[in-house]
Amino acid sequence: MQPIRKCVFPVAGMGTRFLPATKASPKEMLPIVDKPLIQYAVEEAVAAGCTELVFITGRNKRCIEDHFDKAYELETELAYRNQNKLLDFVQDILPPNVTCLYIRQPSALGLGHAVLCSRAAIGKENFAVVLADDLIDAQPGALSQMMEVYYRTGCNVLGVENIDPQETGAYGIVEITREDTDDYIQNIIEKPHPDDAPSHLGVVGRYILSARVFDFLTNLPRGAEGEIQLTDAIARLLTEQKMVAYAFSGTRYDCGDKLGYLEATVAYGLKHPLVGEDFRKLLQQMVC
């Protein structure tokens, strides 16, 4: 079985739901307590065995490159002040065997187009895609759980979850049939109206895909919301290859949405080793 070494992080979206916070910096840099969303996503991919990280960036995304780069001035200053714990936080963001590649998406034409921009970096290898605004709190991580399915079945794997039936218009929706222990996708539709949705099982920002998907992404017509949709290429891939819908165990927070972002902040704040206990007391005082 071909190992999955490469993970694509599409980070070129405009983050309109968080304006003005995202006017000059990307939504993937929004922090949940003390780490930006993109760092949680990267840690999940690295824990799942990925060693080549491919970021598809756009305008205003330089700070993502800076975040994963060495910060000479800051590190020198922290070392000078003997702030070794903080120095560890800054230096240990990525293990030494992991490399990062940044590719500029010339215009924001949609998720499918962003993934297509990674083609040269991925080549013919099977690869993962992680959307950082779907923050998943899971142990082991959601992508690690999906890797187990990939290595066991040899199939493409999509992370899915039961979603609110009224919200099918925000997700790729799959129709499945069960074979032995796994759910195989029969059909996938991008953002259907609730009346047209084949199920309430939504794709949530985690994909393990064959490189064949690039052939389908090329020359793909614009789909839902006038964008080049990854889901539409996956639907075509489905005519040739099997695909498992994997309902990971864990909690997903939709951090592309204000309320989901606040929920994640509270959940991660409550379990934070340094501030968790005090934060709980504070919340209790605030809501009583």
Return residues touching ligand G1P (CB under 6 A): 111, 131, 134, 171-172, 190, 202-205, 229-231, 256
Q: Return the number of the residue (78 or 160) whose C-beta is nearest ligand G1P.
A: 160
C-beta of 112 vs 269, nearer to ligand G1P: 112
Give the shortest CB-273-to-ligand G1P separation in angstroms.
Answer: 29
CA distances from 51 to 22, 98, 111, 158, 256 (A): 28, 4, 22, 20, 26
DSSP per-residue letters across 193-240: -GGG-S-SEEEEEEEEE-TTHHHHHTTPPP-GGGS--HHHHHHHHTTT
- Closest distance of CB 152 from ligand G1P, Å: 24
Select 57 or 229, whichever has its Cβ closest to ligand G1P. Answer: 229
- Per DSSP (E only), the strands in 19-143 are 31-32, 35-36, 52-57, 99-104, 127-130, 134-137
Give least dist CB 206 to ligand G1P, A: 9
129 forms beta bridges with: 8, 207
CA proximity to 150, closest of 241, 215, 53? 241
The least distance separating ligand G1P from the CB of residue 118, rounded to whole angstroms, comes to 16
**What residue has token string 């694509």?**
8
Residue 229 Cβ vs ligand G1P, minimum distance, rounded to whole Å: 6
Q: With respect to ligand G1P, which residue has the nearer C-beta, 153 or 231? A: 231
Give the nearer residue to ligand G1P in terms of CB position, either 5 or 200. Answer: 200
The least CB distance from residue 87 to ligand G1P, in Å, is: 35
Question: For residue 228, which amino acid is it?
Answer: I
The Cα 205–Cα 252 span in angstroms is 10
Between residues 36 and 202, which has the closer beta carbon with respect to ligand G1P?
A: 202
- For ligand G1P, the closer of residues 168 and 210 by Cβ is 168
Nearest CA-CA partner of 265 in 3, 13, 15, 31 = 31
Rounded to a whole number of angstroms, the minimum distance from the CB of residue 114 to ligand G1P is 9
